[in-house]
Chains A and B, each alone.
Chain A
Amino acid sequence: MRSRWWAGLCVLTASAALAQYPYTRAFQLQDGNTRPDARLVIVDPQGMIWVGGEAGLFRTDGDHTRASAVQGSVTALATADRGVLAAFADGLLVRAGGLMVDTLRSDTAWRKAPIRSLCMDVAGSIWIGTYGDGLWRMDADAAKAVVRVEGLFDDHVNALCPLPAGGVAAATDLGIVLFDAKGRVLRHVREEEGATDNLVLALTLGDDGHLWAGTDRRGVFHFDPNDAAVAVQALDSVWSFGAVSGVHVRDGLSWVATRGHGVRVYDLRERSGCYMPGSEVQGLGARVLALSAGKDGAAWWCDGSARLFRSDANVLFVPQHEGVDLRHVSALCSGPDGRIHFAVGPRIYGHAAAFADAEHLSQRELDLPAEVPIVSLHADSTGDLWAGTMGRGVFRIRPDGTVQHFTEKDGLANNNVLRIRSRGDAVWMATLGGVAAWSAADGFVRPELPGNGFLYDLLPLPDGGTLVASDGGGLVLLPEGGGPGKAVGDTADARPTSYYSLALDEQGNAWACGPGTGLCVYSVNGLQCTGADHAVLLSDVQGIAAYRGRILAFAERGLLALEPGTGRMTDLGRMFGLEGVSGELNALCTDLRGGLWVATNEGLVRITPTTETLHSTTPVVLVGWSYGKEPLSLRTDPHLGSDQNFLTFHFASTSTPAPDLVRFQYRLVGFDGGILSTREREITYSRLPPGAYEFQIRAGVGDTTPDSAWTSFAFTIDAPWWRRPWAVFLGVVLLSAAFFGFIRMREERLRLRDRMEKERVRFQLEAVRSQVNPHFLFNSFNTLIALIEEDTPKAVRQVEDLSTFFRNILQVRDKDLIPLADELRLLETYFGLEQRRFGERIRLVVDADPDAHVFSVVPLTLQLLVENALKHNSATTAQPLIVRVSAHGPTLEVRNTLRPRLAEETSTAYGLDSIRQRYRALTDRPVEVFQEAGDFVVRIPLITAQP
């Protein structure tokens, strides 16, 4: 109802001076070499800004822009529950959020016209408006199937908007149709029902619960979607700004984007049309194609170029008002009635703090020459307005309009009055000749002060004292009830200190600031200063003020906000476009509505920072993360394979007035504890080892330390299978098995070697024993004796042979193996000895392949076997014992006719057994002993000689 009667007022005020504009900044969109054109813009629930145009769909936070889907031109864009919906000219319909892009439909057969509008209703169903083929719906649980919604009186849908109670409103060329969640028609809103124009191009749900419609020709109208009884109302009945391309209503402001007249902002709270054609004033585009409101109360809009604009209604520039140039305001104050007073030349103007156009400036001209400026203004609690001048004393303007003029003649300390403040009935003035205190009862009083009396500011304290800021004499405290003032602060510091500005904070502490002092607080603990080396405070500080728990200092180099609790300082000036603007002394004041006023050379600036901007922290959004280029979900259980260790994190700072000033700090807990800084929006980690990690990001504005808490995202890179517990266990088991196996083998080998050693010793013993066998010696000596008598040379040879034989035995005794050829020579020597005894009764036939000589045998094997043959078989001249030794391939064979002796010589039985044992240690092949066709055969495996 409220809006109804102010709508009527608009008729009167539409032509009022249109001189306020919200601070608007342009941001260049660029992704690599692509400069996407922005024809559509939407701010999603996270605060990310999505831009659609011919180049495709892009997301940005104002400073960094990245392509999301570039499959051609975007024809429609809408917010979804965690991102946006976008339709492309070639028929693709996607849902995008963070880094993820899900295709909803890629076919076009189901509709005959292009998609012009999209929306997601409260139940999650997606409504699709086409231009020429009506309205379609894709239910949340319908597996991407679309059904046509009947009931439209026109198939040309321009805009869609979800209704709070479910369902949507569809704006067509011929009016608006409201549907419930099931697609049944609830209501029509056309010219017959009060709409200003049937051709509705933009539709939005305001935070007042109304549906707001922007039309082609007749501006904006709005209505209650739940109550048909409430009349449809026009925002402005006199509309001359052409087609509306976007509307947004939030926090009492109605933003209207027009195709030819920029962005216009209507202040609904002030019960009057308050025009703020900021884009035109600042020389930015008059053509606006789309507008979307950010979470911080600012609006983002686009004009079809590669620039994106942010207009911040919390920062209002008023360069002129009703023909008054507000770029030369010399003094500024706010009154107890909520009005703002400011002085331009000899005139003092007054206006309601909200600067609504319904009210005109009040004006009072003082009798002053043009060159005498008003440098101080004060509105006291009785409604009197005080104006101090340079050289002409002070004026008191009564509410009834009468003016009193006080000068030095009236007892005023000095005619140069730089600051006026009051406490109770007393008005206090800082002059270039000391303090002047005035009250209606006593007139002027001049308290005693040390120093030269050049004063810039004074501040009556709640406890009764008065603090005075002097030139060169520091701060002086005038005690309650009179008496001489005394210096405050460190008097040991001999340097003369000047203070220009004083302010009282909400806790009753007094703050002071002068050249090079920083911001100083005077409390029961004395004077404490901070930030003396801050760039803003090193420049000329024009004024300080306490504002919502902060101490603000407006200086040539910016607007600094100090948070006393933490000592943190933020340069709001850079965020609100106040860099490069300058002001006058006494250029800062706060109004009773929470606005901060700054008089600058760009005009009056009213800043109403949102609580977020002033108090809280730089917002950080973790947009998503990806493995290489493949986006990963932020929601699913973040367990990655061991090879998925090339990870990129994407983040942004949304809903901040100056995304280009944001600096991030990040760290990866679990990888390294170090904190790194960046102003990029993505960080890549390569070759992360398996483990549990937590990526953390926070941000701050400018070079200050980050002010936001860590935003964290925990994830795990799984170990590869061979490092999982079961694999490790298995590995340990296998390793121990192998170890034990090795130990066993080694033991076996040692045991074998031990046995071989024993065998060898025994074999040697056996061989030697057989050679020193008394029988052998007896036979040999008998032969020798016979030969000595019969054939001396032969006997000598026999002894020589015997000697050779024993020497050979001594030589080979210690060896494990000797070449077959050596063994055969040994055998011949031996057989020669035996032959001398047996003569023709024995015969040796050796038949060895030439290549058999590469093999080796255990020494004395053949000798032992032949000796055995001679020992166990009878040999006669008629039937000589023929021993055949043959070597074919890897086998040595000793064969003799089996003709056992009748008188068996006792055997140690060691012979063959010993040979078997030795060979078993050396080779797998057996020593074969068998009888075959009356022959006794022993087959010895030949051994490949070891090099």
Chain B
Amino acid sequence: MERISAHLSSAKGAVDPVARTFAVQIPMADFEGFNSPLQREHFRENYLETERYPYAVFKGRIIESVDLSAPGNYDVRAKGPLIVHGVERERIIECRVVVAPEGVRVTANFEVLLEDHAVRVPRVVQQKIAPDVSIEVDMLFERVGTAP
């Protein structure tokens, strides 16, 4: 098993602090890192098929009834469909939300099972690639206006 890590900073998203809904879109082709360019190519072409499924999407609602317009730290659960590789799975993801005057910062850790999203890994590399992928999220949502 080999540790492979990649990151991107081009994810886009929005949070409605009053309705407590959110949507995040991740352009999968933008992932950088990996241990070799070949790995990145495999990631894009063989596994995630980014030409066919360019974006991963997570949208939904925040379960806890917290007031995200008031500054503070909140532990919340984000629940909704996570679409990766064109396959939708409902997920509940625990997030830490830090509300500051300039915006909302969200951090989260969760796992994505390749099998759940029909990402087929050839048998030869199954030894090298874990069946689940750990995701770390750190997003800053800037305040664009006040809710009516």
A interface residue numbers (CB < 8 A to B): 131, 156, 173-174, 198-199, 216-217, 243, 287, 304-305
Contacts and interface: CB of A to CB of B under 8 A. Distances in A.
B105 interface: no
Contacts of B61: 156, 173
A173 B79 contact: yes
A567 B116 CA distance: 51
Contacts of A156: 61, 79
Contacts of B115: 304-305
Nearest to A199: B63
Closest 4 CB pairs of A and B: A216-B92, A173-B63, A199-B63, A173-B79
21 contacts: A131-B90, A156-B61, A156-B79, A173-B61, A173-B63, A173-B79, A174-B63, A174-B65, A198-B63, A199-B63, A199-B77, A199-B79, A199-B92, A216-B77, A216-B92, A217-B77, A243-B92, A287-B113, A304-B115, A304-B116, A305-B115
Contacts, number: 21
Nearest to A289: B116
A115 to B, nearest CB: 13
A198 B90 CA distance: 17
Contacts of A217: 77
A624 B115 CA distance: 35
Contacts of B116: 304
A304 B117 CA distance: 11
Identify which of A173, A287, A304, A305 gathers the most chain B CB atoms within 10 Å of its CB. A173
- Range for the number of chain B residues in contact with chain A: 10 to 19
A304 B113 CA distance: 11
Contacts of B63: 173-174, 198-199
A131 B92 CA distance: 14
Most A CB contacts (10 A, CB to CB) among B63, B77, B79, B115 go to B63
A14 to B, nearest CB: 22
| Majority DSSP secondary structure for residues of B touching A | strand
A198 B61 CA distance: 14
Interface in B10-69: 61, 63, 65
Contacts of A305: 115
Nearest to B115: A304
A903 B90 CA distance: 133
Interface of B: 61, 63, 65, 77, 79, 90, 92, 113, 115-116
A917 to B, nearest CB: 102
B12 to A, nearest CB: 23
A349 to B, nearest CB: 40
Nearest to B79: A173
A296 B54 CA distance: 49
A204 to B, nearest CB: 20
A802 to B, nearest CB: 120
B93 to A, nearest CB: 11
A287 B116 CA distance: 12
Nearest to B90: A131
Contacts of B77: 199, 216-217
Contacts of B90: 131
A722 B115 CA distance: 61
Contacts of A131: 90
A315 to B, nearest CB: 30
A621 B80 CA distance: 40
Contacts of B65: 174
Contacts of A304: 115-116
A224 B82 CA distance: 35
A131 B88 CA distance: 14
Contacts of B92: 199, 216, 243
A305 B114 CA distance: 12
A156 B81 CA distance: 12
Nearest to B62: A173
A199 B79 CA distance: 10
Contacts of A199: 63, 77, 79, 92
A131 B90 CA distance: 10
A76 to B, nearest CB: 12
A673 to B, nearest CB: 52
Contacts of A173: 61, 63, 79
Contacts of A243: 92
Given A156-B61, A174-B63, A174-B65, 10 more contacts: A131-B90, A173-B61, A198-B63, A199-B63, A199-B77, A199-B79, A217-B77, A304-B115, A304-B116, A305-B115
B85 to A, nearest CB: 13
A173 B90 CA distance: 13
Contacts of A174: 63, 65
Contacts of A198: 63
A305 B116 CA distance: 10
A202 B79 CA distance: 15
A693 to B, nearest CB: 47
Nearest to B118: A54
B65 to A, nearest CB: 8
A173 B21 CA distance: 14
A870 B5 CA distance: 138
Nearest to B87: A54
A805 B92 CA distance: 129
A304 B132 CA distance: 14
A108 to B, nearest CB: 16
A173 B20 CA distance: 13
Contacts of A216: 77, 92
Which of A243, A287, A305 lies at the interface centre, i.e. has the most chain B CB atoms within 10 A of its CB?
A: A287
A216 B79 CA distance: 11
A318 to B, nearest CB: 31
A243 B110 CA distance: 13
Nearest to B64: A198
A153 to B, nearest CB: 11
A287 B111 CA distance: 13
A882 B116 CA distance: 120
A416 B51 CA distance: 78
B111 to A, nearest CB: 9
Nearest to A303: B115
B130 to A, nearest CB: 14
A217 B61 CA distance: 17
